[in-house]
Amino acid sequence: MTVTTSRRSLLFLAGAAATAPALVSAPARAAGNVFQHGVASGDPLPGGILLWTRVTPTPESIPASGAGPVVTVDWQIATDASFGSVVASGSVPTGPERDHTVKVDVAGLTAATTYWYRFGLAGAWSPTGRTMTAPAENAAITRLRAGVVSCANWEAGYFAAYRHLAERGDLNLVVHLGDYLYEYATGDFGAGDTVIRKTQPADETVSLADYRTRHAHYKTDPDLQALHASVPWVITWDDHEVANDMWSGGAENHDPATEGVFAARVAASRQAYAEWMPVRLAADGHIYRRLRYGNLFELSMLDLRTYRSEQASGTAVDDPNRTIAGAAQLNWLVDGLVNSTAAWKIVGNPVMISRLDVGAIPAWLLGPLGELIGVPQNGLVLNGDQWDGYNADRERLVDTLRAHATKDIVFITGDIHTSWANELTTKDTGTANPAAAEFVVPSLTSDNVNDFLGTSPGGPLSLAAAALIRATNPHVKWVETDGHGYGVLDITAGRVRMDWYHLADRTSRSSSVKWVQGYSVGRGSSKIRRESAPAS
């Protein structure tokens, strides 16, 4: 385990065995038939961890079927992979009302400790999972590494990136920034319009049964299962967990005339998500939350879909009545960043917060002319689905951080399928005084620039696009528009570093991967610097 503390702490696994109607013992079956969807852990706490699995107790108990008995599932957690030293155990009922998924929130173990866990049903044991608890709140931590991922489209390729992360052996957690799955019907969003492997269900996901089936299908992927089983995950959602370009009252990819009331679709997707993902949701269902790793860092995970105003363009993006985060969440974020005692404040940020000016000079440089011609305060908006479309929220956040002289903030971002190293600037900070650093990871498989253009990776059009972005955005220090893969975030007391790794071929499960770039930010500064390749 990479985390170093002055003493060991304890793993939190709080048993969630609610009472249920008559429990039925399932007939003995092979482990592979009972535990078809793997095991997972998530949301590490200083004393605990959330565990997850799904059981298929009878042949008819397939996902979304509503069939099969209520059964009791055993769980164990041990300090060794052979389970010779079981330190916590219990049992929990599950049935068709929760699609035979199991979530156990276990408390009372040791902080900053590696554990192994498994589930049992009718004489069959699940694959073994490995997890880690977070350090005690003020423990002295010297280093931590996290895999950072987003945008995994089943039909666009294989999840080799998950395999490479699982094989590293030096990660303490994985942070998933959204678009864990995609809602499209088969053929609607493949690899440059080519379906590499078909998803299930074949139709677009709209109903609870649809979302349950799609979640279940994703969790049959062996590389996804391997990464879930190797390290705890911290996850948030973006739009495709429901529908493309979702906002609080609708989505680009939702037609009420043919797909019903949007709120019903959201409720169905959220229920399936709560059942199938190793994540703690609040009692009211909100997912934004904060986790702490000793004195080294706090991780604030955002939800930028549930509360946002509808996307807009033009000067409407400056409207102070529009929001991307919602007032309650934005206040929670600001308060957490300003008052944190951790060395680093990391923000799990589903969509890019840094400005993106293309083909226009920002209005704050144009002065009165900008107002006359109607350029928004932070420049012409290319993508109103990002923070660019919600300038008022971004200004409120940055202005408050500056007013409190809050430093050492790093946004880690997904969504746009490309790789970026940015400094967060606004009209008030200027380019000389950024408020934070931002590191954006590419998609695992979802189409990016060369895929949409139908050109080879690294071709002249992609290079021209990257050059244009850098020329008109001095706060963008690096951008790469073609690669698929992941990031590895390396955090020490003195700096936060992101390394980007890209796949050779997303359409091959056996694809190799290579390091392509590294950037870091030092303590007390939001200026980022380029790094050489890490030692192997």
- 255-304 pLDDT, tens digit per residue, is 999 999 999 999 999 999 999 999 999 999 999 999 999 999 999 999 99
Say if residues 50 and 43 touch (Cβ distance below 8 Å): yes
Closest CA to 292 of 337, 350, 225: 337
Residues forming CATH 3.60.21.70 domain(s) in the chain? 143-180+293-531
- Rounded to whole angstroms, the Cα distance separating 133 from 489 reads 18
User: How large is the average pLDDT for residues 130-159?
Assistant: 97
Closest CA to 488 of 480, 478, 496: 496
pLDDT at residue number 482: 94
CA atoms within 13 A on the CB side of 480: 22
Q: What is the percent of the chain where pLDDT is above 90?
A: 80
81 — pLDDT class (breaks 50, 70, 90): very high
pLDDT at residue number 403: 94
What b/e string do you get for 56-87 counting C-beta neighbours within 10 Å, with b at 16 or more? bbbeebbbbeeebbbbbbbbbbbbeeebeeeb
Residue 322 has pLDDT above 80, yes or no: yes
Residue 372 has pLDDT above 50, yes or no: no
The tokens for 90 are 């219990």
For 287-350, the DSSP string reads: --EEEEETTTEEEEE---SSSPPPP--GGGGG-TT--SS-HHHHHHHHHHHHH--SSEEEEEES
- pLDDT of 453-483, one tens digit each? 888 888 888 888 888 889 889 999 999 999 9
- pLDDT of 167-181, one tens digit each? 999 999 999 999 999
Domain 143-180+293-531 belongs in CATH node 1.10.10.60: no
360 — pLDDT class (breaks 50, 70, 90): low
pLDDT at residue number 383: 86
Which residue(s) pair with 421 in the sheet?
439, 478
Say if residues 48 and 106 touch (Cβ distance below 8 Å): yes
User: How large is the average pLDDT for residues 303-331?
Assistant: 96
364 — pLDDT class (breaks 50, 70, 90): low
Q: Which of 105-114, 127-136, 204-213, 456-465 has the lowest mean pLDDT?
A: 456-465
Q: Return mean pLDDT, the chain.
A: 90
- Rounded to whole angstroms, the Cα distance separating 447 from 192 reads 7
Residue 7 has pLDDT above 50, yes or no: no
pLDDT at residue number 2: 35
Neighbour count for residue 536 (Cβ, 10 Å): 4
Residue 20 has pLDDT above 90, yes or no: no
Residues forming CATH 2.60.40.380 domain(s) in the chain? 31-132
What stretches of 58-177 adopt beta strand conformation (E)? Answer: 71-78, 86-94, 101-107, 114-121, 124-125, 129-132, 143-149, 173-176
One-letter amino acid at 1 equals: M
Say if residues 173 and 233 touch (Cβ distance below 8 Å): yes
User: How large is the average pLDDT for residues 432-461?
Assistant: 90
Q: What is the percent of the chain where pLDDT is above 70?
A: 90
pLDDT at residue number 306: 98
- List phi, psi (to 5°) of 228: -60, -40
192 — pLDDT class (breaks 50, 70, 90): confident
Residue 174 DSSP SS3: strand
**Residue that is written with structure tokens 């498994």 in the block:** 118
CATH number of 31-132: 2.60.40.380
Residue 4 has pLDDT above 60, yes or no: no
- pLDDT of 236-261, one tens digit each? 999 999 999 999 999 999 999 999 99
Handedness of CA 450, 455, 456, 458 (dihedral sign): negative
- pLDDT of 393-432, one tens digit each? 999 999 999 999 999 999 999 999 999 999 999 877 777 7
